[in-house]
Amino acid sequence: MLKKLSDRLRSWCGRPWGPLLLLAGGIAVGLGIVATGSTILLLTSTEEFCASSCHEMTYNRDEYKGTIHDVNRSGVRATCVDCHVPRTGIPLYFRKINAARDLWGHFVSHSIDTKEKFEAKRYEMAVRVWTYMKQSDSRECKACHNLDKAETSEKAKVRHARAKTEKMACIDCHYAIAHNEPEGGPGPQELDIKNK
């Protein structure tokens, strides 16, 4: 079969317009792959997808409702994607690939497919998210929050300056603000996770 395909390609390249047609076909296939990938990234980067694709995410959505990220004085909501997915570039692709672990836990190993199993693994999953946030230097937090704004209180400015000099991540102090605090171990500040 490969020999037939190879022979056919050679015969096309021997024609006057063959190489151009082959190049155009390659470009069309490449654009199709990019368009499909981009569409999948967009469709899987919505609150609706996160909250409805796996029933265990409804637990997270229920506990998120009414938190400061859901309802606040500015009227701007932070959704699942705002906190858990980088906005662009290579980090976005790596995060989406890493999300396959969640699919594995839901569809294959069934390790988090009930509320009880989810709760039993909550701390382990939280540590994974805290580690990610610390290692990314709170990239997703900083995409929305500008700590140098005039509206930031003086008390917060002092604390944020100290945290910056101590190389602390946002998650070191601001955890369990959108989800229930997991039981079973130390919080992110006590974990030995190195920031970048």
Asked whether residue 13 is domain-assigned, the answer is no
- Identify whether the C-beta of residue 144 lies closer than 8 Å to the C-beta of residue 27: no
pTM reported for the whole predicted model: 0.75
Asked whether residue 144 is domain-assigned, the answer is yes
pLDDT tens sequence across 32-89: 999 998 898 888 888 888 777 766 677 778 888 899 999 988 888 988 889 888 988 8
* pLDDT at res. 92: 87
Give the residue-averaged pLDDT of 98-126.
82
Asked whether residue 187 is domain-assigned, the answer is no
Asked whether residue 89 is domain-assigned, the answer is yes
Asked whether residue 104 is domain-assigned, the answer is yes
Residue 147 belongs to what domain range?
29-173
Sign of dihedral through CA atoms 23, 29, 35, 37? Answer: negative
Asked whether residue 22 is domain-assigned, the answer is no
Q: What is the mean pLDDT of the chain?
A: 84
Q: Could you tell me which of 51, 118, 114 has the C-alpha nearest to residue 80?
A: 51
Number of domains in the chain: 1
Asked whether residue 126 is domain-assigned, the answer is yes
Q: Taking 70 as the threshold, does the pLDDT of residue 194 lie above it?
A: no
- pLDDT category at 195 given cuts 50, 70, 90 is low
Asked whether residue 110 is domain-assigned, the answer is yes
Give the separation between CA 34 and CA 40, rounded to whole angstroms.
10
Q: Can you give the three-state secondary structure of 48-114, one letter per residue?
A: HHHHHHCCCHHHHHHHHCCCCCCCCCCCCCCCHHHHHCCCCHHHHHHHHHHCHHHHHHHHHCCCCCC
* pLDDT at res. 11: 77
